[in-house]
Structure 1
Amino acid sequence: MSAVESGVGSRPAPSRLASGRIARRPGRRDRATPRHKRASITLGILMTVMLLYCLVPLWWLVVSSTKTMDSLYDSFAFWFSGEFALFQNIVDTFTYQDGIFLRWLGNTLAYVVVGAGGATLFATLAGYGLAKYDFPGRRWVFAIILGAMAIPASALAVPQFLLFSGLGLTNTPWSVIIPSMVSAFGLYLVWVYAREAIPDELLEAARLDGAGEIRIFFVIALRQLAPALITVLMFTVVATWNNYFLPLIMLSDAQWYPLPVGLAQWSAQSSAIGGQAIPNLVITGSLLTVIPISAAFLYLQRYWQSGLTAGSVK
């Protein structure tokens, strides 16, 4: 039998690597695996710490709202104890001082609707105009906006108070609403997003079709700006709802207080001469204050996430 015939049915001998006589050298991916595992464990620990940092105060707030005034100090802070008094605390919160908590809640809702809504609208209009229109002084306007973002709100408190005092608007809702309608950060965010998300060719095509600028903005541009608009609305709603310093210096009548200032006044009663300590009502009121803003944030976040890829142009 020839060598050719004998080699037809034969199989090649396995290599030394396949047979195991030579060990496979660890590659770069194998060497990086332990490092990735250590990084994942570290990130997991950090995320757990951040989660506890956010949830532990909320858990304490929920648990403390179910306790009476006596059991607040005689029981473990992070677990239920004694009589379940949540519903009674809610009733007492709404009826204390002739139901002024409801007035504070209405004031806060009005400040959020008018102030945060106006800030979102003005930021969207101004950001879109700066991004898509060329006019003299455009760079100066943008520089002023960036400068306004760098100035802390506390530095503007005294000038704002003197300005509104000269106009006779202090101790009125307008002294809180008008400053809340200005959001330099929101304007900057819309400007950055509109510059990239709205193609100039799309606007030119709409103009060639005979559409006016107002129609272009509300029919075309506003849909493209939906993610930025929702983001600005989320930030302004949260900032206006939690606004404490501005109403504190502008308002002196408790009838116009928002919830943060009103609850702080209730908390300060315990240190005042002849004041009544009501820690259970302060805690319950804080819980009732957190629930609406948390629900609004989660509701708006759904539209924010779904709108990230909306309006994309191929």
Structure 2
Amino acid sequence: MTPPPLRHRIITASLLTVAALYFLVPVYWLVVSATKNSADLFGTFGFWFADPHPVDRLTEVLAYDHGIYVRWLANSLLYAGTGAVCATLLSAAAGYALAKFPFPGRDAVFTVVLAGVLVPGTALALPLYFLFSAMGLADTYGAVLIPSAVSPFGVYLCRIYAAAAVPDSLLEAARIDGAGEARIFGGLALRLMTPALVTVFLFQFVHIWNNYFLPLVMLSDSGLYPVQLGLTSWTGYADRQPVLYQYTVGGAFLSVVPLMVLMTVLQRYWRTGLTDGSLKA
């Protein structure tokens, strides 16, 4: 195979370098700023350390206001973790059913799912608030958890992936061997759909973790806030308490760590070709 021309490789490497800097420079600034106190945060060069004490600074963030940040972080883990797991399982079941079980109106249902992908979440926040308020669920954990358990994009992705990665002949062989539909789905289809499920879980986890508008509309009790909404509330009081600028930066750094860990742990499941060799030619 002939290698691409040198100029093409240079252009590609340059574009990738620019893209990497675009994403990594803000993270670097956040790491540096999280080690500074309020005076150094505004009085020193933003891209270099000044008397760094990262453990002390982050301990102050965690201890402020009787550990409210720890409560917000736990809330975010609850919302994102539970919501992502439920959304992944529901998306897998719905996508598998749409891909492998013909029934009247299947295409219409899939069209509705596609329409749900196109509707922005902010457009649904106020109707959801009125609905949950009428049900007495506003300002509760359920007000954020229940909407987070539904992912139209997850259903779409699982439907497309199940149609391509779960062979009909393999399902028929399992049925001939006496396996029930629940066992086929749980023991066979879910394993073959692992890359899609990991993708749905990651997308939904990050979406819920970074979601700001839905908790803003649904919640008024600061004890129920996720970390993103809590940090914004700190920013609102920072003019009267300048130390909150430092705590907000430190809290933002801590809020990135779970996402980095999750991506590092789950990326090894992002692989294809799981059905290679499962069928005879």
Does structure 1 residue 96 correspond to structure 2 residue 96?
Answer: no
Aligned residue among 75, 95, 119 for 2:44: 75
Equivalent residue number for residue 6 of structure 2: 37
Aligned residue among 161, 167, 173 for 1:205: 173
Kindly provide the CA deviation profile for residues 40-69 of structure 1, in whole angstroms up to 9, marking residues without a partner as x: 222111111110011100110111111111
Matching of residues 13-52 of structure 1 within 5 Å: 36-52=5-21
Matching of residues 291-306 of structure 1 within 5 Å: 291-305=257-271
Aligned residue among 65, 77, 100 for 1:109: 77
Quick one: which amino acid aligns to residue 17 of structure 2? T
- Contact (CA 8 Å) 1:108, 1:259: kept in 2 or not? yes
* Distance in structure 1 (CA, Å) of the matches to 2:97 and 2:19: 39
TM-score by length of 2: 0.95
Matching of residues 78-157 of structure 1 within 5 Å: 78-81=47-50, 83-157=51-125
Does structure 1 residue 284 correspond to structure 2 residue 262?
Answer: no
- Contact (CA 8 Å) 2:38, 2:242: kept in 1 or not? no
TM-score by length of 1: 0.85
SS in 2 for 1:99: helix
* Distance in structure 2 (CA, Å) of the matches to 1:63 and 1:275: 22
Quick one: which amino acid aligns to residue 273 of structure 2? T
SS in 1 for 2:235: helix
Q: Structure 1 residue 270: deviation in Å?
A: 2.0
* Distance in structure 1 (CA, Å) of the matches to 2:268 and 2:188: 22
Q: Structure 1 residue 276: deviation in Å?
A: 5.0
* Distance in structure 1 (CA, Å) of the matches to 2:264 and 2:229: 24
* Distance in structure 2 (CA, Å) of the matches to 1:113 and 1:139: 31
Tell me whether 257-266 or 39-48 shows the greater mean CA deviation.
39-48
How many residue pairs were aligned? Answer: 277
- Contact (CA 8 Å) 1:119, 1:180: kept in 2 or not? yes
- Contact (CA 8 Å) 1:259, 1:289: kept in 2 or not? yes
- Contact (CA 8 Å) 2:38, 2:243: kept in 1 or not? no
Higher relative contact order (CA 8 A, sep 6+): 2
Q: Structure 1 residue 113: deviation in Å?
A: 2.0
- Contact (CA 8 Å) 1:269, 1:277: kept in 2 or not? no
* Distance in structure 1 (CA, Å) of the matches to 2:203 and 2:238: 33
* Distance in structure 1 (CA, Å) of the matches to 2:187 and 2:122: 39
Kindly provide the CA deviation profile for residues 13-32 of structure 1, in whole angstroms up to 9, marking residues without a partner as x: xxxxxxxxxxxxxxxx8xx9
Q: Structure 1 residue 163: deviation in Å?
A: 0.9
- Contact (CA 8 Å) 1:115, 1:178: kept in 2 or not? yes
* Distance in structure 2 (CA, Å) of the matches to 1:113 and 1:150: 24
Equivalent residue number for residue 20 of structure 1: none
Quick one: which amino acid aligns to residue 9 of structure 2? S
Q: Report runs of 4+ in structure 1 exceeding 4 Å deviation.
A: 274-277
Does structure 1 residue 242 correspond to structure 2 residue 223?
Answer: no
Quick one: which amino acid aligns to residue 135 of structure 2? L
* Distance in structure 2 (CA, Å) of the matches to 1:98 and 1:201: 59
Q: Structure 1 residue 88: deviation in Å?
A: 1.3
Equivalent residue number for residue 219 of structure 2: 251
* Distance in structure 2 (CA, Å) of the matches to 1:44 and 1:268: 42
* Distance in structure 1 (CA, Å) of the matches to 2:14 and 2:6: 12
RMSD, aligned CA = 1.5
Equivalent residue number for residue 19 of structure 1: none
* Distance in structure 2 (CA, Å) of the matches to 1:247 and 1:118: 18
Equivalent residue number for residue 310 of structure 1: 274
Ranges in structure 1 where 5+ consecutive residues have no aligned partner: 1-28
Equivalent residue number for residue 16 of structure 1: none
Does structure 1 residue 233 correspond to structure 2 residue 204?
Answer: no
Q: Structure 1 residue 205: deviation in Å?
A: 1.3
- Contact (CA 8 Å) 1:267, 1:277: kept in 2 or not? no
Q: Structure 1 residue 277: deviation in Å?
A: 4.4
Q: Structure 1 residue 215: deviation in Å?
A: 0.6
Q: Return the index of the structure with the highest Cα Rg.
A: 1
